[in-house]
Structure 1
Amino acid sequence: MSVSSSRRFRAAIAAAAVLATALGAGTAAADADPAPTPQTRFHEPRELLRALNVDELAASGWTTAKDSESDDPAAPSGEEPAPAEPAPGPPPPVTHEDLARIVPGMPPEKIDQYLAPLNDAMIHHGIDTPVRQAAFIAQLAVESDSFRTFEEYASGHAYEGRADLGNTQPGDGARFKGRGAIQVTGRHNYEKVSEHTGVDFVANPELLAAPENAFTTAAWYWTSRNLNAVAENEGIVRVSELVNGGHNALDRRIADFQRGLDVLLQP
């Protein structure tokens, strides 16, 4: 019932009380007997309510003020509102199915393990279009043997004394051989990626091959060479030259790139 109904109910109680008092007073005035006027049967409030038969009034639609207030949608319910569910975030750049199709040779257990850090690296480094993503994944797939390893199979002795890589100290070739999802190589690159990430890969070069670092460092290498722009403006061959230094496995890189585009451009 509405608040106005509650008010009418209270008004009915007040009217009944006034009527009862008036009846008692009228009896005393008409009676010449000076004896004290007897008390009305509504002397106690509970008697008045009993006489009004609140149960019958409620059955006919009357409500108390408390009931009316509880029906008021603006009134506080006394219960904490249920927390709103958070809005769903954007879909990941690449799904499990996408990655399995782009890199057919990738072991399924590796997809489960590496999908989240791969997507995080792309999101945080602006690798955010199908062309950029397809080029990035194609290079990583070749450099890491379809994500089977984050450390170069060769010993690294071939890089010994390579001043262009910063390998100026004895043992630098093997110490700073290719590691990570894109095979970061050479003392100079290890120093730069250490500055970028805050992880000392120069003192601990093996950490660059850890899965939690492999994709972050690959994305660093990618953006440090501005390869997003190269992929979109110069093509996959030029990207491959800047990643690998030549045309090693170029056919495979092109094929993986094209397959990535076919998958990521699907509606």
Structure 2
Amino acid sequence: MSVSSLRRFRAAVAAAAVLTAALGVGTSAAHADTAPTAPTQTRFQEPRDLLRALDFDALAADGWTVTDEEEETDSAEATEVVELVAETTPAPPAVTPEELTRIVPGIPAEKVEQFIAPLNEAMARSGIDNPVRQAAFIAQLAVESDSFRTFEEYASGRAYEGRADLGNTHPGDGERYKGRGAIQITGRHNYEKVSEHIGVDFVAHPELLAAPENAFTTAAWYWTSRNLNEVADTAGIVRVSELVNGGHHALGRRIDDFKRGLDVLLQP
């Protein structure tokens, strides 16, 4: 006999809720209404391998089984559980203006308040929700945008002329579709793809990609389109940098910014 995947899900959710409450996961002195009685947690602290303690094979051996009627009941209950979890799961901590300044010391002071909200919104929508992912994302943006000083490549873009790998097959595409946005999206092909995703015609109006309201949204699109959350979690910052830049340009700076980001975001 075996335990249904639904029962596994329900038990896992219940166990996670109990263990999370017991350990005070996700709390910090900075965000709590009252002083914590347990040791102060960092901004991010996730249970590791806690659900492996649930031995479902042993439960099955003890006689757990599921009838068709139970499956139908469980299906409705599971929907309620998913909705409840979605409603009660707190959003990941946003990066504060002070933290962004410490991660990217070169960011112009007047840009911090202007960019902090769209940066956090882009990360929240794209699952950039732990310190490794956030530090990696901000490190790439910091290098690509010259510490958030520009959302348009300084070079003319002529070097990209005729680059079929970038989709630059029309005369003038190199300059027209040079790097823009917080992550310097480059080439006609990428402009076409991001236009489809965002719903703004960046192909006809490439300059719009450099507007602050679009710069972070398009950077997050590029990030998720390359599955860089998983790359950051598993392969590391060097591989992330290769997939963003196509090489090792300013790799030392990207690594330094990443390390600084971790130092800042992991502090209590």
- Normalization by structure 1: what TM-score? 0.66
Q: Deviations over 1:87-133 (max 9, x none)?
A: xx857520011000000010111001000000000000000000000
Q: Deviations over 1:24-76 (max 9, x none)?
A: xxxxxxxxxxxxxxxxxxxxxxxxxxxxxxxxxxxxxxxxxxxxxxxxxxxxx
2:214 counterpart of 1:213: yes
Which one-letter code corresponds to 2:237 in the other structure?
A: I
Unpaired runs of 5+ in structure 1? 1-88
The alignment-based identity, stated in percent, is 82
- Structure 2 match to 1:123: 124
Unpaired runs of 5+ in structure 2? 1-89
- Structure 1 match to 2:253: 252
CA separation in 2, counterparts of 1:170 and 1:107?
Answer: 36
Superposition misfits of 4+ residues, deviation over 3 angstroms: 89-92
- Structure 2 match to 1:261: 262
- Structure 2 match to 1:8: none
- Structure 1 match to 2:23: none
Q: Which protein, 1 or 2, shows the higher relative CO under an 8 Å CA cutoff with sep ≥ 6? A: 2
- Structure 1 match to 2:236: 235
SS at match of 2:262: helix
- Structure 2 match to 1:39: none
The question of whether the paired residues in 2 share the 8 Å contact of 1:92 and 1:119 is answered with: no
- Structure 1 match to 2:178: 177
CA separation in 2, counterparts of 1:153 and 1:97?
Answer: 28
The question of whether the paired residues in 1 share the 8 Å contact of 2:144 and 2:184 is answered with: yes
How far apart are 1:255 and its partner, in Å? 0.2
CA separation in 2, counterparts of 1:209 and 1:100?
Answer: 21
Q: 1:235 to 1:179 in 2, by over 3 A?
A: same
Which one-letter code corresponds to 2:116 in the other structure?
A: L
- Structure 2 match to 1:157: 158
Which one-letter code corresponds to 1:261 in the other structure?
A: L
Which one-letter code corresponds to 1:173 in the other structure?
A: G
Larger Rg computed on CA atoms: 1
- Structure 2 match to 1:56: none
Alignment of 1:1-267 (within 5 A): 92-267=93-268
The question of whether the paired residues in 1 share the 8 Å contact of 2:177 and 2:206 is answered with: yes
CA separation in 2, counterparts of 1:168 and 1:91?
Answer: 42
CA separation in 2, counterparts of 1:188 and 1:140?
Answer: 20
